Amino acid sequence: MIGTASWALRSGKAHTGSKGHAGRENQFHITINLGSKMLKWLRGFEQAVVRSLIFMMALIIFLATIELGYLILVDIISPPMFLLEIEELLDIFGFFLLILIGIELLETIKAYLEDKVVHSEIVLEVALIAIARKVIILDLKAYDSVVIIGIAALIIAIAGAYFILKRKIRVSLAEACPQAEENHAEK
What's residue 170's pLDDT? Answer: 84
Write out pLDDT tens, residues 12-34. 444 444 444 444 445 544 455 55
Within 8 A by CB and 6+ apart from 16, the residues are: 22
- pLDDT tier, 114 (very low <50, low <70, confident <90, very high otherwise): confident
pLDDT at 119 over 70: yes
Give the integer Cα–Cα distance in Å for 114 and 134: 31
Distance CA 122, CA 14 (A): 49
pLDDT for the residue 33: 58
Q: Domains of the chain: which residue ranges?
A: 2-137, 140-187
> pTM (2 decimals)?
0.63
What is the percent of the chain where pLDDT is above 70?
76
101 vs 2, more confident: 101
Asked if residue 186 has pLDDT above 90, the reply is no
Encode pLDDT of 42-78 as tens digits. 889 988 998 999 999 999 999 999 999 999 999 889 8
For the chain, the maximum distance between any two Cα atoms, rounded to a whole number of angstroms, is: 93
Q: Is residue 113 a contact partner of residue 51, using CB atoms and an 8 Å limit?
A: yes
Cα(8)–Cα(29) distance, integer angstroms:
7
DSSP code at position 118: -
69 against 137, higher pLDDT: 69
Overall average pLDDT of the 164-186 stretch: 74
